[in-house]
Amino acid sequence: MSRYLVTGGAGFIGSHIVDRLVGRGDSVVALDNLSTGKLANLEQSRGSIELLEADVRDPNAVRQACRGVEYVLHHAALASVPQSIADPISANEVNASGTLNVLVAARETGVRRVVYAASSSVYGDTPPMPIGEDRPPAPLSPYAVSKHVGELYCQIFWKLYGLETVVLRYFNVFGPRQDPGSEYAAVIPMFITALQGGESPVIFGDGEQTRDFVYVSNVVEANLLACQAPKAVGRVMNIAGGARTSLNELVTMMRQAIGADIPAAHGAPRPGDVRHSSADIALAQELLGYEVTVTLEEGLALTAEWLAAAR
């Protein structure tokens, strides 16, 4: 049995990781300031974990959370492009400075390895697709900049201090517990909720923009593999579904899954959004043994089922 710290542990991805760790018998500390995370996300594991209601911007709280921990899975973030454009200072404080706090605390308390939840947004709009990890960063938003800074800190802490770090660049993660009601909601829960409510999902732009969607359980598995894989230390890897899907195609798939014959509506494109995004996942397959075990179609059905039950 190992001891893990999951920052952002009450959030969408973090809570799924917490549940998986608890389910296999590990000791878990979850740190979350509950600004976007929800206690309801931890309902399954709440009685089996240590929950710290704290902020990664607080170095003392992070240091306390790291004590006695072997692995840190760092998911606390201000995870919205539009919100970062409206408030770039907060994005930097949480995503860049918060990550630095985590790394400093991990080094000081003897943590074995830190796995960092990075973002495909660092690539920007650079063609061609699919994108490999050797593609130079070209961020289009303060969010993307701040997440890339976190990556750089991770690599520096490995090179300078010998703290083992692994960077996982997530593409478009989706699944149960993603909040469809947020002002900054991701497209899949937002689209499904609209269709289930008999409304047209709103696509910002012409809908021909593409994304690489990955169901959350695949991401959880990537995190667990990243804690143990010896060749992953100091590396940056894409974590995605490995397929390219346009938003128009996505809505068609959802309409078929839900049985709702409702056309999409279109709004103006949003600033900071990338046009196309699709991942080469060969490196994660090689270094982690990562595989996509839940497909986009299967994940959409599971997510629609969860959202219908949550209505």
Q: Which of 143, 153, 170, 215 is catalytic?
A: 143
Return d(Cα 206, Cα 247) in angstroms, integer: 9
84: amino acid identity, one letter: S
Q: Report the alpha-carbon angle 45-47-50, nearest 5.
A: 90
Which residues contact residue 156 at a Cβ distance below 8 angstroms, ignoring those fewer than 6 apart?
none
- 161 catalytically annotated: no
Q: Mapping DSSP to helix (H, G, I), strand (E, B) and coil, where does residue 214 land?
A: strand
- Sheet with 236-239: strands ordered across: 50-53, 27-32, 3-7, 71-74, 113-119, 164-170, 236-239
Task: Calculate the CA 279 to chain-centre distance.
Answer: 15
Residues catalogued as catalytic: 143
